[in-house]
Amino acid sequence: EVQVVESGGGLVQPGGSLRLSCAASGFTFTEYWMTWVRQAPGKGLEWVANIKEDGSEKYYVDSVKGRFTISRDNAKNSLYLQMNSLRAEDTAMYYCARGIGGYYDNWGQGTLVTVSS
Amino acid sequence: IVMTQTPLSSPVTLGQPASISCRSSQSLEHSDGNTYLSWLQQRPGQPPRLLIYKISNRFSGVPDRFSGSGAGTDFTLKISRVEAEDVGVYYCMQVTHLPHTFGQGTKLEIK
């Protein structure tokens, strides 16, 4: 069964850092782009970043460039999102999803990040 | 690319059809000839779920009452006969251009 499971969310102060993880199973991780999408409380979906199968290409939404870093460890079937200089507006549920052929077909349950003092 | 959905809310009677429109600010046709427009469903308290990809392809396990159509900048999701389990928010999403973007979401509710 294809599964992606996020972890690492929590409460952090403004200016702080957090590292999210996404553990993948049930598919050949190295054959898929992976992405992070977030959803602020009561709001819509916002694409955050994605990374190519071998990690050679990474793309970000402007609002997180220079603060967030997406990475992957193909030996561990894992995706990461390092988030630095966190702001209140980064408060959201963060979803991991796998991508292929121009669409994202399997999504995790999400991990909640709250940025507050 | 700005994705604009209409309506933002859609009260529908069980068994009746529903339709959601999505318009993009630029053509979503990629240089490879594909149009990377997807539709996702988010039920209350759940993560998003892929329904339709590349305009009109139903994802595995999606009931055939869901269908997608369109081209260029105008796209439509149709539900032929709404069932109670269809309640939720529906999003269009484009991955032709970076950054990938979503519509604002359309809330489907039962009258």
Determine contact: A8 vs chain B, CB below 8 A. no
Determine contact: A9 vs chain B, CB below 8 A. no
Residues of A in contact with B96 (CB under 8 A): 102
Average pLDDT of the segment spanning B83-95: 98
Pairing of strands B37-42, B9-12: unpaired
B20/B104 Cα distance (integer angstroms): 12
- What's phi and psi for A31, nearest 5 deg? -100, 5
Residue A80: what pLDDT?
98
Q: How confident is the model at residue B111 (pLDDT cuts 50, 70, 90)?
A: very high
Determine contact: A111 vs chain B, CB below 8 A. no
Give tens-digit pLDDT for B9-52: 999 999 999 999 999 999 999 999 999 999 999 999 999 999 99
Residue B27: what pLDDT?
98
Measured in angstroms, the CA of A105 and the nearest CA of chain B are apart by 6
Contacts of B80 (CB under 8 A, 6+ apart): B17, B65, B67
Residue B92: what pLDDT?
98
Residue A29: what pLDDT?
97
Residue B13: what pLDDT?
96
Q: Of B68, B98, B43, give the one whose Cα is nearest residue A35.
A: B98
From first to last of its 117 residues, chain A has per-residue pLDDT tens of 999 999 999 999 999 999 999 999 999 999 999 999 999 999 999 999 999 999 999 999 999 999 999 999 999 999 999 999 999 999 999 999 999 888 999 999 999 999 999
A44/A58 Cα distance (integer angstroms): 23
Is the pLDDT at B109 greater than 90? The verdict is yes
Residue B40: what pLDDT?
98
Residue A69: what pLDDT?
98
Please state the three-class secondary structure of chain A as a single string: CCEEEEECCEEECCCCCEEEEEEEECCCHHHCEEEEEEECCCCCEEEEEEECCCCCCEEECHHHCCCEEEEEECCCCEEEEEECCCCHHHCEEEEEEEEECCEEEEECCCEEEEECC
Share of chain B above pLDDT 90, in %: 100
For residue B102, give the nearest of A47, A99, A106 by CB distance.
Answer: A47
Measured in angstroms, the CA of B59 and the nearest CA of chain A are apart by 8
Is the pLDDT at B60 greater than 90? The verdict is yes
For residue A103, give the nearest of B30, B95, B104 by CB distance.
Answer: B95
B39/A38 Cα distance (integer angstroms): 17
